Structure formats: structure tokens, C-alpha cells
Amino acid sequence: MPMVGLADIQEAQSRLRDIATRTRLIEFSHPESNFRRLFLKPENQQPIGAFKLRGAYNKIASLSEKDRNRGVITYSSGNHAQGVAYAARALGVKAVIVMPQNAPAIKREATAALGAEIVFVGPGSAERQSKAEELAAQHGYVIVPPYNDEQIIAGQGTIGLEILEDLPEVETAFAPVGGGGMISGVATAIKLSKPSVKIIGVEPELAGDARASFRAGKIVQFPADEVVHTIADGLRTQSIGPINFEHIRRYVDDIVTVSEDEIREAVRLLAANPNTVAEPSGAVSVAGFLFHRDQLPETKINVAIISGGNIDPKMLEEFRRRTRQSN
């Protein structure tokens, strides 16, 4: 199984200069701040509102001119779709995106606005992938996978390099887990630079396939009709990728799961600062830190990655209203 190295991530960092935003850490105030400090890595501030631009651009930029001329295709519920559409537009490449019909409107509209051609399918992540592979075979498009790809992993790993540059004393880093692209890259970048740092993945209980795989020592797949119930739409993958799993096994210390109510509360708390507004998928790492202390390393300097901020304003207001009603 091919493994991503530090040089691959450093090369991606060079490609992404002046493309991806160099997001700066923000300290997060919470009741235990005196004992456990938490810094946020706000990837919601990327041009597409999510970290996915990093991997998508690195992948497309690394293609030969011949392959770029063929056009690219991907399958995504939203943020990777926008990342591919943005990167393809920047590089003058045709992009086709296979999206589920239940993808949030805010993500569907943003992807279309970036000039990509969109093909809709059902809710299952396996169905999206199958349709993209079919269209790629028909039209010769190059597939840009959402997570199971070395160039994607290297691009996402640039987040880890930036964390270490800005906070060399970090002791634990928290990352959301869907298909495993972000945590693979971040864990690789950090562990190969500073092995003492603990890497903790966080995912919804309703889509806890990564934790199940981590515990079993083999990839475990969850049914589409189960993972679709989490509000964290960006983490509704049915299984992690094989390349991602190898990186997770080698570099990740643990994976914890969070409830839907914990995700909602983390979204609400993060929304108090306009710079840290998070969609549910982007808030899971903070939910893990706040509500699962008994499962976590006893470390003082921690970083949680906000993977994205593309939340429907109506959803955010609903979370706030529910909290007010319960108080």
C-alpha cells in the first residue's frame, strides 16, 4: 500500500501557496480553559468554506496536461464537490460532480456557481462512487477521489504542517473523520514531524465506521440507510478508504464518536464567534474535546480542526432556538 511521506506534504504546501488560505489558530474559551486549552484551526475560512480545497487542488495541479485536458470527475455530498469545482476553474479544467439528491442546498448551489456540471444520484456514498466511475469510463474523465488518494491526503496534510508551525507545543490534535482523507494527512504530517503529539479522530455515533474499523483492525462498512441519519452530512461515508486506513492505523492514536446532541451543542457554541461558525461535520472535533474527556489524553495544549462552515442559516437558527427552549 503506498504511503504519503513528509516530502509529499511539503510539495503540496508549495502548490497551495496563494491558493488555499493560511488559516490562523484561534483560542476557544470553555469552562476548563485553565486546565485544558483548546485552539481552533478554522478551515471554514477557506474560499469554499471548507478544507477540501487543499486536497482537490493538489490532486488536479499534479495531473499532466494531457490528463487535465480530459476533464475531472468526483463524487461528493458537498465540500469536496466545491473543492474540485474551485480548483478545476482555477486551473482551466472541466469538472463533473456526482452529488446525492439530499445534499444541502447551500452546497449544491455553491458547486453549480463555480461552473461544475452536476449529476444527481441517491443518498449512498457507494452509489455516488459507482456513477462517477461509470461516467469516467464513458467520457475519459480523471477521477478525483474525495479521500482515498495519495495526492488528496498530502493536500489535507498541509493543515498539520501549519498547526505545528503556529503551535509547536501542541500535545493533542483532533480531526473529524469521514472517509479519512483529512485525518490521514494531518496525522502523517504531525507524527512524522513530532511523534509525541497525540492524534484523535472524531466522528458521529450514527456513522461510526472509522472507529469500528480502528477497533477491528480491518475496514468495517456501515449501511447507507444508517449513516444518512446523522446531521453531519459531510461525514456520511459508509467506510474509510483503504489508503486512508493504512495511514490511520500507523499514525492515529484513537477515534471517538459523538452524539447528535453533542454535535448540535458544539455548533451552537462555535457560532458565538463569526470566525468559527461550523457546519455539523466541522464541529465534531470540538464536540469530542468538550464532551468525552474521560476517553482523551490528559493534555493541556490541544487543537481541534473546524473542517468547514457551510451550514444552512435556518439549521443554525434551529439549533440556537432548541437550546433556548431547553434552558
CB 250 within 8 A of CB 194: no
CA distance 194 to 166: 14
In tens, the pLDDT along 129-144 reads 899 999 999 999 999 9
Q: List pLDDT tens digits, range 205-244.
A: 999 999 999 999 999 999 888 898 999 988 988 899 999 9
**What is the band of 315 on the pLDDT scale with cuts at 50, 70, 90?**
confident
pLDDT tens string 7-60: 999 999 999 999 999 999 999 999 889 899 999 999 999 999 999 999 999 999
Going from the C-alpha of 46 to that of each of 22, 198, 229, the distances in angstroms are 8, 25, 27
Q: Which CATH architecture best describes the domain 53-143? A: 3-Layer(aba) Sandwich (3.40)
Q: From its phi and psi, is residue 78 left (phi > 0), alpha (psi between -120 and 50) or beta?
A: left
- To the nearest whole number, what is the mean pLDDT of the chain? 94
- Evaluate whether 6-50+149-326 and 53-143 have a shared fold: yes
What is the pLDDT, as a whole number, of residue 219? 96
Whole-number pLDDT of residue 283: 98
Q: What is the pLDDT of residues 92-101, one digit of tens each?
A: 999 999 998 8
Any idea which fold 6-50+149-326 has? Answer: Rossmann fold (3.40.50)
Mean pLDDT value of segment 86-112: 91
Q: Given this model, what pLDDT does residue 104 score?
A: 81
Domain residue limits, the chain = 6-50+149-326, 53-143
